[in-house]
Amino acid sequence: MKSSFTTFHMAVRLVTIGLLASLLSACAGFSSGYPAAPAAAATPDYNYIVGPGDNLNISVWRNPELSMSVPVRPDGKVTMPLVDELVAQGKTSVQIAREVEAVLGKLVRDPVVTVIVTGFVGPYSEQIRVVGEAAKPQALPYKQKMTLLDVMIAVGGLTDFADGNGASITRASEDNKRYSVRIKDLIKRGDISANVEMKPGDVLIIPQGWF
């Protein structure tokens, strides 16, 4: 009888150890099967693309009455004197300037237009989205050479329940390829080798840990 009890007791201990091992494995992060994100990712020839919510300072040389600051509407268009319904979304400031010149050229002699973007928001397709266990999950406008550390500072770090080293980046510019990142090592342990550059349209997913 005592032998049977001992055998049962040992079996329970083995099952318990197995469950603990499974939990520890889960806590290590569900993204461990993904390749590590490359440290360098920025595009050298990147040009900012205008999106809804941006503000454009449009200056027409020698025509101050045509110069003004205009918002890019939710439909991606802008309106200014002599220019109706110009699509600004998805274009660079230089492209917008040339299009404004083409429209004004029908009414004004040799217009010279300069467009400066302020209040950066950018198109949704290029924003950095942070979801999951960030202190303040949100979408951020992409900036050249933006890093994972920059993103985490902007969203206020991790929650107490985050599995920082189980986080991953889904990269839209690479057909939604998934990369693993080590946020806990980066911001909790100061391991700068865990810092990586972001790309336009990246989605940072931070899962919840088991404990």
Question: 113 with 137, same domain?
Answer: no
pLDDT of residue 47: 93
Of 118, 142, 170, the residue at which a domain comes to its end is 118
Question: 133 with 100, same domain?
Answer: no
Instruction: Give one word for 53, left, alpha or beta, with left for phi > 0 and alpha for psi -120 to 50.
Output: left
Question: 141 with 195, same domain?
Answer: yes
Structure tokens at 63: 């025509």
Question: 113 with 152, same domain?
Answer: no
**pLDDT tier for residue 32 given thresholds of 50, 70 and 90:** low
**pLDDT tier for residue 26 given thresholds of 50, 70 and 90:** very low
pLDDT of residue 3: 52
Checking if the pLDDT of 27 tops 70, the result is no
Strand ranges inside the chain, DSSP E: 55-60, 68-71, 77-80, 83-87, 113-118, 128-132, 138-140, 168-171, 177-180, 203-206
Question: 85 with 135, same domain?
Answer: no
Let me know if residue 48 belongs to a domain.
no
- Give the gyration radius of the chain's Cα atoms: 26
Find the mean pLDDT for residues 103-108: 94
Let me know if residue 31 belongs to a domain.
no
Let me know if residue 12 belongs to a domain.
no
Question: 163 with 112, same domain?
Answer: no
Question: 157 with 209, same domain?
Answer: yes
Question: 163 with 207, same domain?
Answer: yes
Question: 108 with 187, same domain?
Answer: no
**pLDDT tier for residue 4 given thresholds of 50, 70 and 90:** low
Of 118, 142, 166, the residue at which a domain comes to its end is 118
End-to-end C-alpha distance for the chain, whole angstroms:
39
Residue 177 belongs to domain with CATH number: 3.10.560.10
Question: 140 with 198, same domain?
Answer: yes
- Cα separation, 28 vs 23, in Å, equals 9
Checking if the pLDDT of 167 tops 90, the result is yes
Confidence (pTM): 0.80
User: Which stretch of DSSP H or E encloses residue 58?
Assistant: strand 55-60
pLDDT of residue 43: 79
Question: 91 with 137, same domain?
Answer: no
pLDDT tens column, 45-84: 899 999 999 999 999 999 999 999 999 999 999 999 999 9
pLDDT of residue 44: 82
Residues 6+ apart with CB under 8 A from 121: 51, 52, 53, 54, 127, 141
Residue 74 belongs to domain with CATH number: 3.30.1950.10
pLDDT of residue 45: 85
Question: 111 with 147, same domain?
Answer: no
- Number of domains the chain is built from: 2
Let me know if residue 155 belongs to a domain.
yes
Of 91, 118, 145, the residue at which a domain comes to its end is 118
Find the mean pLDDT for residues 74-96: 96
pLDDT of residue 21: 40
**pLDDT tier for residue 13 given thresholds of 50, 70 and 90:** low
| Of 210 and 67, more confident | 67
Structural domain that includes position 93: 55-118
